[in-house]
Amino acid sequence: MINSGDVAFILICTMLVFFMTPGLAFFYAGMVRRKNVLNTIMSVVFCCGLATVMWYTVGYSLSFGPDAGGFGVIGDLSNVFFHGISATEAGPYAANIPGQLFAVFQLVFCMVTPAIVVGSLSGRMKFPALFLFVTFWLLLVYYPMAHMVWGQGGLIANLGAVDFAGGYVIEISSGISGLVACIILGSRKGYGIKSYHPHNLPLFVIGGAILWVGWFAFNGGSALAANGLAVHAVVTTMLASAAAMLSWMLIEMVLYKKVTVMGAITGAIVGLVSITPGAGYVPTEASLLIGGVVSPICFFFLTKVKVKFGYDDTLDAFGCHGISGVWGVIATGLFAQTAINPVAKWNGLFFGDTQLFVAQITALFIAVIYSAVMTAVIMLVLKKIMQIRVSPEAEALGLDISEHSEEGYAAFSGIDQ
């Protein structure tokens, strides 16, 4: 039965999660050079339009429609153009809200995911190629991953693995895809030789704040009702992000004797990512541990692994989202409790069961391999049929001018950072 309180709650959550995509644009834009700020914003916000139209036409059906072929990998086309999805009656995934509300709530998750990926490619990819990349990435990576994890009859769901708000579907798929795509695209000119500095840290903080606020709707709304589970997800989200922020600050203080604003906000974000898969499954005490541990893991990848292997993951989609997501799904397998959410068939390893932990690890391998292979196919095909990188001259000039004929700071005449 439709519940008006739940409808109001999910409507508000939908708007807040939508706002996370423009927030991500600010977050990313603050970290790039002045000459690429508008291209970075455009690379994120165009996902709002493209993802919406694709979701309405085929995306929702491929993600949440009845399973096609019985393999648990993709939905069929029975719900194209929201056919059979009512604005007044419940759908198959939530009995208390209209089917179209569930569909639009899932849309805003779909919207922000490719926007995370493009951060790995910032500063050197032609916009038409990026547009095509996102189009095919949604078709070949996001929709199948959403179906496998959340769709009825999905492959990963059938394993018994759980993902409350997008550890596999959003964080791991985007992080792994960003890593593969940036390796195939190649590094920015001079990467590893000259320094790249963020040009506007206040803009970065504003974007981070929008993401932080939106994440409460991201995780809390995934309960699909204004109930105790939503409250629990909000509490675990708050605790994990706070613990991760403090943990990152502690690392910087120990290593550098100073803390940075960029480090503190980055810590909060990786904490939010790490709790996403388990927000509605793990106890509050575990959320503190999950957040506290994720910062040293991500710090190691950003400062050691990335430097060692030399991949140019421009805005660290892999180092922040991918790695945090991996830790989050593993931690869910360690600390989940069926008493908190019976969707989990078993307790986590820490509470005596092994089945959930094994299912989480198996699902992790599936998500990583699938995302990596499909992203590689997309990038290699695009590279074969078109020029995907801007010219060295255009890269030096800046993508704001070379790709969009606009300037973010038209009056600025100094040396670009």
CATH number at residue 321: 1.10.3430.10
For residue 115, what pLDDT is reported? Answer: 98
25-60 per-position pLDDT tens digit: 999 999 999 999 999 999 999 999 999 999 999 999
* pLDDT score for 175: 98
Amino acid at site 406: E
In a domain? residue 409: no
d(CA 340, CA 283): 7
116 with 175: CB under 8 angstroms? yes
Q: Do 101 and 9 contact (CB within 8 A), yes or no?
A: no
Domain extent, residue 388, equals 4-404
Report pLDDT for 190.
86
Which residues lie below 8 Å from residue 176, measured CB to CB, with a gap of 6+?
A: 318, 322, 367, 368, 371, 372, 375
Query: What confidence score (pLDDT) does residue 196 get?
Result: 75
Question: What letter does residue 336 receive in the DSSP assignment?
Answer: -
- Answer whether 201's CB lies under 8 Å from 143's CB: no
Helix axes 261-275, 228-256, angle to 10 degrees: 140
> Which residue ranges of the chain lie beneath pLDDT 50?
none
Residue 269 lies in a domain: yes
Q: Is 99 inside any structural domain?
A: yes
- In a domain, residue 194? The reply is yes
Residue 191 pLDDT: 86
- Phi, psi values for residue 67, rounded to 5°: -60, 135
Inside any domain, residue 411: no
pLDDT at residue 353 in the model: 97
Which tokens sit at 47?
Answer: 């996902």
CA atoms 297, 298, 301, 307: torsion sign: negative
Would residue 371 count as lying in a domain? yes
Instruction: Measure the CA–CA gap between 53 and 47, rounded to whole angstroms.
Output: 10
Average pLDDT of the chain is 96
Asked if residue 416 belongs to a domain, the reply is no
Residue showing tokens 């203080």: 253
Q: How far is CA 209 from the centre of its chain?
A: 16
pTM attached to this predicted model:
0.96
Partners of residue 125 on adjacent β-strands: 389
Q: How many domains does the chain have?
A: 1
pLDDT for 404: 97
Token pair of 204 as six digits: 């970065």
Q: Is residue 260 part of a domain?
A: yes
